[in-house]
Chains A and B, each alone.
Chain A
Amino acid sequence: GAVVSQHPSWVICKSGTSVKIECRSLDFQATTMFWYRQFPKQSLMLMATSNEGSKATYEQGVEKDKFLINHASLTLSTLTVTSAHPEDSSFYICSATGQGDPDTQYFGPGTRLTVL
C-alpha cells in the first residue's frame, strides 16, 4: 500500500528557532500533499495544500510567512515553522494523494513539535 513517512517524528526546540519537517511518499508519486495540525483533544485542522512545483494554498488564519511549505518534487514536501513559539507546539501531520487515487489521502505518522 501507499506509504508516507515524516521526519522527524518528534522535535523539541527553543523559542525563536526554525524547525523543518519533511514529508515523503515512499512508493508513489504524490500529486498533492496536505499539512495538518492537531492540538490535544481537537480535530485535525488543515493548514495548507500543496501541489508539486506550485505555491501552497493556505487555509484562512494560517500565516504563510510563518509556515513555509515547499513541494519541490512528487515525493517530498517540507513544512518549516519559522521563529517557533510555544503556541506552535502541536502534532503536525502530512498526507498525500496519488495520481491514480485522488480521493484517498495517505497519512504520515506525524511529527510532535514542542517549543520551549
Chain B
Amino acid sequence: RKEVEQDPGPFNVPEGATVAFNCTYSNSASQSFFWYRQDCRKEPKLLMSVYSSGNEDGRFTAQLNRASQYISLLIRDSKLSDSATYLCVVNIRNYQLIWGAGTKLIIKP
C-alpha cells in the first residue's frame, strides 16, 4: 500500500461546479498535511496547509480526518484556472514529506 494515495482522475468538472477529492495516508504518526497545486511541467506550489480544525481560503476548503487518516480538498465555484494536478503531501517527521501522485482536475467551460 502506498503511503499517500490519491485518485489520479482526471476529474472533468464544468465551470462553476463544486469538486472535492480525498487523499488517504497510511502513517498514523503523520504530523502535518498540505495540498499543493502543480501545473503541467511546472514546480508544485503550496495551495494550503491542512489543520485539524479544517481551514478555508476563499473558494478552497481543506479538512483533516485523523481517525480515518484522510484529508480532503473542496473547491467551490470552480474556475477554468483551477485546472491543474492537486498533490496531497504528508509530513511524517522533520522535513520528510511524502507526496501523493496527484489528482488531475480539468475544468470545462
* Residues of A in contact with B (beta carbons under 8 Å apart): 32, 34, 41-46, 49, 91, 93, 97, 102-105, 107-110, 112
A44:B42 contact, CB within 8 angstroms: no
Q: Which of A32, A46, A105, A108 neighbours the largest number of chain B CB atoms within 10 Å of its CB? A: A105
A115 to chain B, nearest CB (A): 17
The residue from B4, B8, B46, B97 contacting A46, defined by CB atoms under 8 A apart = B97
Known: A34-B95, A41-B8, A97-B95. A110 touches B101 (CB 8 A): no
| Complex A-B: 26 CB contacts under 8 Å | A32-B95, A34-B95, A41-B8, A42-B101, A43-B4, A43-B87, A43-B99, A43-B102, A44-B44, A44-B99, A46-B96, A49-B95, A91-B41, A93-B43, A97-B95, A102-B95, A104-B46, A105-B46, A105-B97, A107-B44, A107-B45, A108-B43, A109-B43, A110-B41, A110-B43, A112-B41
CB-defined contacts of B100 to chain A, threshold 8 Å: 43
Looking across the interface, which residue of chain B has its beta carbon closest to that of A108?
Answer: B43
Interface size on B, residues (CB 8 A): 18
Give Cα A71–Cα B45 distance, bound, in whole angstroms. Answer: 23
Given A91-B41, A97-B95, 9 other A-B residues pairs in contact with their CB atoms under 8 A: A43-B87, A45-B99, A93-B43, A103-B91, A104-B46, A105-B97, A107-B45, A110-B41, A110-B43
Query: In the assembly, what is the distance between CA of A112 and CA of B102, in Å?
Result: 19
> In the complex, how many angstroms separate the beta carbon of A69 from the nearest chain B beta carbon?
15
Report how far A42 CA is from B44 CA in the complex, Å: 13
Interface residues of B in 29-43 (CB under 8 A from A): 32, 41-43
* Interface positions of B from 69 to 109, Cβ below 8 Å from A: 87, 91, 95-97, 99-102
Of all chain A residues, which has the CB nearest B4?
A: A43
CB pair A107 B99 closer than 8 Å: no
The 5 closest A-B pairs by CB, nearest first: A43-B101, A107-B43, A43-B99, A44-B99, A110-B43
Chain B residues near A91 (CB-CB < 8 A): 41
